[in-house]
Amino acid sequence: MKFTDGYWLKRQGMTVLHPAQLRDTSADEKTLTAYATTKPVRSRSDTLDTPLVTIKVEAPMPDVIKVTLGHFLGGAPTGPNFAITSEEHDVRVGDTELTSGRLTARFRTGEKWALDFEAEGKRLTGSGWRGMGIVDTADGEHFVHEQLDLGVGEAVYGLGERFGPLVKNGQSVDIWNEDGGTSSELAYKNVPFYLTNRGYGVLVDHPGKVSFEVASEMVSRTQFSVAGQTLSYFIVYGPTPADVLRKYTALTGRPALPPAWSFGLWLTTSFTTPYDEETVTSFVDGMAERDLPLSVFHFDTFWMREFHWCDFEWDPAIFPDPPGMLKRLHDRGLRTCLWINPYIAQRSAMFAEGLAQGYLVKKANGDVWQWDKWQAGMALVDFTNPQARSWYAAKLAGLVEMGVDAFKSDFGERVPTDVVWHDGSDPERMHNYYTQLYNQVVFDVLKEARGEGEAVLFARSATVGGQQFPVHWGGDNSATYESMAESLRGGLSLMSSGFGFWSHDIGGFEGRPDPAVFKRWIAFGLLSSHSRLHGNHSYRVPWLFDDESVEVLRSFTHLKYSLMPYLFEAARQAHEQGLPVMRPMILGFPDDPAVTHLDRQYLLGGDLLVAPVFSEGGEVSYYVPAGQWTRFANGEVVEGPGWRHETHGFDSVPLLVRPGAVLPIGNRTDRPDYEFADGVTLRLFSPAEGTTTVRVGESVFTVTRDGTAIRVDRDGPDLPWRVEIAGGASADLAAGDASWVAG
């Protein structure tokens, strides 16, 4: 939201109070509170009719500082609120500054008002002249804004899943979950958190609508604003972007570790296509006959009866024996997933149950909120009601008991604000937060039934904390190269916002991709953390496109399964450290200015560079950072830094290995879940001087280089293994061999 008319004036009808002078502070062991007048006080008479802005500074954990600013502080507390973790640590509080770890918030004294954030002897950012603002409009609305300085060359990333340019500078962004596809400024996953290439991140602690003006209204500042009389935000110090994500996810929650089987190939019935068990079986048979190893089969919407979504009952005309069918699929080594959403159609029996028990969201007059969009007369489950959560969870638990392994928790964005919630939550704050309650209910059902490490979703909507319930996919894209690229931008933006795992509809959701688009998308999809073939009006089995599509899908599926020892360790990093599996280049190379705006390539884990091909003819341009990189496919050395311009066939994509990497390669290509250390190959690429440690399943391998001598030691179960130096020596080792030396 914009408040100014150019640099000097306010917009018509707006009155804005700005802190002008620090008058007083108060402190205790953990908190510093500042009181700023909105005009300079030069005499006692200036204290009359002069508002105060109150700024409270505190620290929930090291290198993190929370700021709360406000005008009138007598408002009743409202929910919901983000779940924020805090930990005991030393906080140093002075008269005008508070320090947490290496991060300091310091108020300036004297005539020039400012709140500066400093770390390790340098200023990161701050709120200066007219940065903080308390806004009253002619219509009686109230807003609070903050503006934090941006330095020359400073780039902003994050704010959830956004399909425009990866760097947010120059953009206006409203944090408001919408079902808007992938081709507009709207987004399914809105996160009021950003990080910059200057060593810090910012989380606005407001679950409702937050408006960002990123180097737009004020081109040297990032502005954020909320409705009301107070605003809170956190400053998170890195110093690197990766460090910022580690600390941000410690603050808001780390992703659960998805099961290994979920990293395999998912195939769905597609959305509106007709299907029954015979159709499903024909797809599964067709994949097996063509050596296309499938991991998960997903049943989309019409597993339930039309106009009954969601009552969680199989359509008996199409699936007369669901338990038997699920068992038959399990007997073939497949997991199964069902589409669900939180909306209850009036035609379904669940609507009557929810109405009778008071489990559906109501309007102020006591009527259930309903409309006809999506499903006739649909209502919304009130997840703020503990009994409604239990009711909904029990329906899902019955399906899990039947044999279902995962749920695609679709929707969660179409949440009204003209309603009354069971727990009294503010409807504006609940709009975005609803998805957190929804996905947590679904995830907890799976975790309770399947156990820790076996729960996995395929979720569309999210907000702060949603990263705890993986996996998320990119929503309704289109069958074009442009949509393929916008999907990648959305994913990288989400990965910059604390999310560890991400997927997208291979081939595009809307429309039928031509074979070239489909084949190019396969490579991108199988080199993502999770991989799903899905569409709207047409099936996505590859033989319906051409024979080469089958070959391409087989090749890249086998490649991904062989990379599972490496990918699963990248997944552990997401779970334990908050680093995403798919990483914007800025996370891996924060000191290389050439990577600042790169949004058509990424790091898969820490050591693989992927540059998807977005053209039928195979032309692709990508940037290689400094060092001797190696093509994974053929061992060719590619010298960086510099740009590469290449042409690739459908069976190829730029996939480079970072210098110094130790890449564990599995010995299976038929499934993603196997004993990763059994027969693993450790492939060494220009081993770095010193020691590198790599975890593979329950084994830990230590690679030590001292000059020309290289030693590899294994600690773990007695399993056979292999060592290869790219372009050099190799050896097969028996189960009892615990070390290998070359040089």
On whether the CB atoms of residues 105 and 59 are closer than 8 A, the answer is: no
Looking at residue 527, the DSSP 8-state letter turns out to be T
Residue 494 CA to residue 667 CA, distance in Å, equals 32
Strand partners for 225: 145, 211
Q: Is 680 exposed, middle or buried (0-12, 13-18, 19+ CB in 10 A)?
A: buried
Contacts of 461 (CB under 8 A, 6+ apart): 177, 188, 189, 411, 412, 413, 435, 438, 439
Taking the CA atoms of 717, 722, 725 and 728 in sequence, report the sign of the dihedral they define: positive
The first and second tokens of residue 729, run together, are 């020596």
Residue with tokens 């983000």: 82
> Cis peptide before 19, with omega less than 30 degrees from 0?
no
280 SS3 class: helix
Q: Which residues of 515-545 are buried (b: 16+ CB within 10 A; e: fewer)?
A: bbbbbbbbbbbbbbbbbbbbbbebbbbbbeb
- Candidates 402, 269, 403, 273; CA nearest to 332 is 403
Query: What single-letter amino acid sits at 527?
Result: L
> Can you say whether residue 97 is alpha, beta or left, with left for phi > 0 and alpha for psi between -120 and 50 degrees?
beta
In this structure, are residues 684 and 724 in contact, taking their beta carbons and an 8 Å threshold? yes
The length of the chain is 743
Q: Residue 104 has which token pair?
A: 């300091």
Query: Catalytic site residue 174?
Result: no
The catalytic residue among 97, 243, 413, 486 is 413
Angle in degrees, CA 506, 524, 515, rounded to 5: 55
Residue 315 main-chain phi, psi, to 5 deg: -70, 110
Q: Cα dist. 195→204, 238, 642, 664 in Å?
A: 12, 10, 26, 31
Enumerate the H helices of 496-546 as residue ranges.
Answer: 515-526
Nearest to 284 by CA among 333, 337, 340, 318: 333
Catalytic (active site) residue 476: yes
Give the Cα separation of 57 and 192 in Å (integer): 19
63, 300, 410, 486: which one is catalytic? 410
CA distances (Å), origin 727, targets 124, 559, 563, 632, 679: 44, 20, 19, 12, 20
Q: Give the whole-angstrom CA distance, residue 224 versus residue 220.
A: 13
Separate counts of helices (H) and strands (E) for the chain:
11, 45
Separation of alpha carbons 545 and 558, rounded Å: 20
Active-site residues, by number, are 410, 413, 476
